[in-house]
């Protein structure tokens, strides 16, 4: 009995969570432009989407942003994580607090503060400002996914490498880095996902003329209903879902790789 | 016969105003098996890390083979370390672990392969080349760590409690293997442990340390039979350490009774510490003993019985193959050669340093 209730409960949660997405995906295949009527199955919105040059442009911008911001924030975040773990206890707690704040902060606050910062320093709004913003909000995610790996390191391994004649630089790349690599990689994926997914911060830090997919959808939907946008949203949803699944199975995959 | 390979001169080290090593002086000869022995926190690991180059001393010099290496970074020193926690590289297999140092020195592939074979044979783990470190037991991992160190043909091998995590049986096996290795390789071992039995079994020279000071340096026999102070006596094996008065040469008053001894030169009517090993006490009938008392506890220990005897206000620890039941009146006799006389520490301060607890 309790089991049945449990299942119903879980089913309800999933329905509430995923029903809106499901509706969206169903509508993206709807021949009729109406949201209330099913006019038959079609791929036409998807094909139209691919032939819309402004959307394709936004896609390229989104991907460039995601790749660049993920790479740069992974680089900075990994170094930061290493530095933070070697701090003394008090300083470490403080640094972790500072790192966590941007993640807990409302995105709109982060977005507006970044916008004000760019205005203050007279930075021209455009691709660069979005990139800087994305790097900023991605770094904490990288730190958080690299940190546990560093804590698991056997501190003697680094010294053992130097003991065997490796310079500090070599010791790091041959011994420490391979051990934290799974964390670095999942940090990279996480940053990539967050960047693709972001709307609010991008909205406040993009200038006129530059659009990512999410800001594109927003401006189009404001003009009127266009089922192409359903198709686009569905694609983004699926992409992010796949990335998230990847991230979640990855930390374990480090272990599996060892066994083979 | 052999010359000094490593000399520590006036080495001091403190962490956050806490003095860990105080003006330490020590030399290690070529081919010697030296053990640093002492309770937890006495500075053994710190000493080893200074020799290995992982820690800089605040003052003093480290001299290796006649050259000052105090400032030389670890990776340029001709010595290798076996760490307390194995520290194998977990993402490399056993062969890659052993090859690590040789690859860095750009040795040829065939040379490296030969060395791996040789080293695995030496530590009795032939055929383990392709295993991953975490598929090995603790003892096997430790042997790989040793193999990884010795393929580099270091002049000195530093070992920090390498057997600390192993169970008793494995420890004993490994002790013999280490001694065999040392004899086969002919390199200098600097070994850290807080296990006095291990130190006595394996070492040529034992350095007893406490709270950053060297208490005594000597062969295992010297350390055991002639401890220089109460700390060493107490730390090495079980002992009866008794506050006594040296009446004159070759006569000491212990707990009111006069015992003949062989020590001379302490002066007359001087307070001293007397050390008597529990196995050196002979239990006889009350009339025959120099002192008499009552057995208060009895434990069978396999090779011998361990008894406590209350006599003249002191509980004597006695090891004997003869058994006396609890409550029995016995006499205590000690051969003059087995009474070890030690000077009292000169000041309260010194005493605090030398006697633990
Ligand atoms: N990096 C460090 N920072 C601060 N204090 C330290 C550091 N390393 C060691 N100490 C302190 O120095 C003292 C000596 O430490 P050390 O590790 O040399 O002891 P040990 O004799 O090896 O003990 P054990 O048998 O427990 O390994 C200890 O009181 C320890 O707390
Ligand atoms: Mg130690």
Domain CATH code at residue B220: 3.40.50.300
* Sequence-distant (≥ 6) Cβ neighbours of residue A107 within 8 angstroms: A198, A200, A201
Domain finish residue from B171, B202, B225: B225
Instruction: Tell me the pLDDT tens digit for each residue of B120-131.
Output: 988 889 999 999
Q: Is residue B8 part of a domain?
A: yes
pLDDT at B355 over 50: no
pLDDT at B166 over 80: no
Reported as type and span, the H/E element at residue A205 is helix A200-205
Contact list in B for residue A259 (CB cut-off 8 A) is 132
Query: Are B304 and B214 found together in one domain?
Result: no
Query: Are B129 and B209 found together in one domain?
Result: yes
3-class state of residue B286 by DSSP = coil
Domain finish residue from B195, B225, B255: B225
Domain finish residue from B225, B248, B272: B225
Query: Are B170 and B48 found together in one domain?
Result: yes
Residue pair B21/B12 in contact by the 8 Å Cβ criterion: yes
pLDDT at B330 over 90: yes
Burial A215-247 (b: 16+ CB within 10 A, else e): bbbbebeeeeebbbbbbbbbbbbeeeeebeeeb
Per-residue confidence band for A19, with pLDDT thresholds at 50, 70 and 90 = confident
- Residue ranges making up the domain that contains B126: 4-225
Query: Are B247 and B151 found together in one domain?
Result: no
pLDDT at B1 over 60: no
Q: What is the CATH number of the domain that holds B329?
A: 2.40.50.140
Query: Are B163 and B220 found together in one domain?
Result: yes
Q: Looking at the DSSP assignment, which residues form a beta bridge with residue B341? A: B274
Nearest atom within ligand 1 for CA of residue B55: 1
Tokens of B199: 């130190």
Q: Could you give the residue ranges of the DSSP H alpha helices within chain B?
A: 44-52, 94-104, 109-122, 138-150, 168-185, 196-202, 220-225, 230-235, 348-354
Q: Do A163 and B134 touch (CB under 8 A)?
A: no
Per-residue confidence band for B93, with pLDDT thresholds at 50, 70 and 90 = very high
Q: Is residue B231 part of a domain?
A: no
Q: Is residue B234 part of a domain?
A: no
Q: Is residue B286 part of a domain?
A: yes
- Distance, CA of B53 to CA of B59 (rounded, Å): 14
Find the CB nearest B104 among A157, A160, A166. Answer: A166
Domains (range + CATH), chain A: 54-231 (1.10.3720.10)
pLDDT at B344 over 70: yes
pLDDT at B354 over 50: no
For B154, counting Cβ atoms within 10 Å of its Cβ (0-12 exposed, 13-18 middle, 19+ buried), the class is buried
pLDDT the model gives residue A251? 59
Q: Is residue B86 part of a domain?
A: yes
Residue pair A221/A229 in contact by the 8 Å Cβ criterion: yes
How high does pLDDT run on average in chain A? 87
- Distance, CA of A68 to CA of A144 (rounded, Å): 19
How high does pLDDT run on average in chain B? 89
Residue A57 C-alpha, separation from nearest chain B C-alpha, in angstroms: 42
Q: How far is the CA of B237 from the centre of ligand 1 (A)?
A: 24
Query: Are B145 and B272 found together in one domain?
Result: no
Task: Give the number of domains in chain B.
Answer: 2
Query: Are B26 and B120 found together in one domain?
Result: yes
CA-based nearest residue to B49, from B4, B99, B15: B15
Q: What is the mean pLDDT of residues A32-38?
A: 79
Chain A contact present for B91, CB below 8 A: yes
pLDDT at B186 over 80: yes
Between residues B84 and B71, the one the model is more confident about: B71
Query: Are B140 and B275 found together in one domain?
Result: no
Query: Are B151 and B61 found together in one domain?
Result: yes
Q: What is the mean pLDDT of residues A138-153?
A: 91
Q: Is residue B232 part of a domain?
A: no
Query: Are B70 and B196 found together in one domain?
Result: yes
Q: Is residue B88 part of a domain?
A: yes
Contact list in B for residue A165 (CB cut-off 8 A) is 75, 101, 104-105, 152
Q: How far is the CA of A85 from the centre of ligand 1 (A)?
A: 20
Query: Are B143 and B30 found together in one domain?
Result: yes
Question: Looking at the predicted complex, does its ipTM rise above 0.90?
Answer: no
Query: Are B161 and B256 found together in one domain?
Result: no
pLDDT the model gives residue B307? 94
CA of B296: how far to CAs of B280, B304, B308, B319, B331, in Å? 19, 17, 5, 14, 14
Q: Is residue B62 part of a domain?
A: yes
Q: What is the mean pLDDT of residues B19-26?
A: 92
pLDDT the model gives residue B26? 93
């Amino acid at each position: 009995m309790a089991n049945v209730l449990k299942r119903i409960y879980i089913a309800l949660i999933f329905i509430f969570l995923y029903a809106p997405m499901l509706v969206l995906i169903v509508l993206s295949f709807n021949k009729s432009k109406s949201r209330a009527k099913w006019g038959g199955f079609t791929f036409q919105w998807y094909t139209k989407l691919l032939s819309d040059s402004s959307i394709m442009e936004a896609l390229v911008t989104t991907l460039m942003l995601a790749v660049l911001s993920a790479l740069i924030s992974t680089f900075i975040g990994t170094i930061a994580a290493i530095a933070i773990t070697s701090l003394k206890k008090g300083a470490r707690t403080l640094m972790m607090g500072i790192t966590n704040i941007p993640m807990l902060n409302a995105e709109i606050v982060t977005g507006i503060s970044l916008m004000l910062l760019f205005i203050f320093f007279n930075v021209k709004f455009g691709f660069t400002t979005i990139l800087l913003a994305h790097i900023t909000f991605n770094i904490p995610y990288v730190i958080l996914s690299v940190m546990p790996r560093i804590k698991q390191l056997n501190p003697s391994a680094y010294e053992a490498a130097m003991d065997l004649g490796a310079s500090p630089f070599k010791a790091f790349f041959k011994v420490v880095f391979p051990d934290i690599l799974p964390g670095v990689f999942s940090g990279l994926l996480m940053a990539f996902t967050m960047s693709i997914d972001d709307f609010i911060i991008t909205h406040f830090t993009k200038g006129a003329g530059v659009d990512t997919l999410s800001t594109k959808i927003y401006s189009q939907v404001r003009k009127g209903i266009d089922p192409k946008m359903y198709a686009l949203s569905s694609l983004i949803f699926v992409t992010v879902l796949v990335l998230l699944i990847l991230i979640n199975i990855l930390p374990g995959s480090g272990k599996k790789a060892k066994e083979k | 016969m052999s010359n000094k390979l490593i000399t520590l001169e006036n080495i001091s080290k403190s962490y956050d105003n806490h003095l860990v090593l105080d003006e330490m002086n020590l030399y290690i000869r070529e081919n010697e098996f030296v053990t640093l022995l002492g309770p937890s926190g006495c500075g053994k690991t710190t000493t080893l890390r200074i020799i290995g180059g992982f820690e800089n001393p605040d003052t003093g010099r480290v001299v290796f083979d006649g050259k000052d290496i105090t400032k030389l970074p670890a990776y340029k020193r001709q010595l290798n370390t076996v760490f307390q926690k194995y520290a194998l590289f977990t993402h490399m297999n056993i062969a890659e672990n052993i090859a690590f140092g040789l690859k860095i020195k750009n040795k040829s592939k065939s040379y490296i392969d030969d060395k791996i074979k040789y080293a695995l044979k030496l530590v009795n783990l032939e055929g383990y080349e392709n295993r991953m470190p975490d598929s090995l037991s603790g003892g096997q991992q430790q042997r790989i760590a040793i193999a990884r160190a010795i393929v580099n043909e270091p002049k000195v091998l530093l070992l920090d409690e390498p057997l600390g995590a192993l169970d008793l049986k494995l420890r004993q096996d490994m002790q013999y293997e280490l001694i065999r290795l040392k004899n086969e390789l002919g390199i200098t071992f600097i070994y850290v442990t807080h296990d006095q039995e291990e130190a006595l079994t394996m070492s040529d020279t034992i350095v007893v340390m406490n709270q950053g000071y060297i208490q005594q340096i000597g062969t295992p026999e010297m350390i055991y039979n002639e401890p220089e102070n109460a700390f060493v006596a107490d730390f090495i094996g079980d002992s009866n350490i008794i506050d006594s008065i040296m009446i004159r040469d070759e006569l000491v008053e212990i707990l009111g009774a006069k015992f003949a001894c062989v020590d001379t030169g302490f002066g007359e009517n001087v307070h001293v510490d007397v050390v008597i090993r529990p196995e050196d006490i002979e239990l006889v009938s009350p009339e025959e003993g120099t002192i008499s008392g009552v057995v208060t506890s009895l434990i069978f220990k396999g090779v011998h019985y361990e008894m406590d005897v209350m006599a003249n206000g002191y509980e004597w620890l006695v090891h004997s193959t003869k058994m006396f039941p609890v409550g029995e009146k016995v006499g205590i006799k000690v051969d003059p050669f087995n009474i070890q006389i030690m000077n009292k520490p000169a000041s309260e301060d010194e005493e605090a340093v030398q006697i633990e607890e």
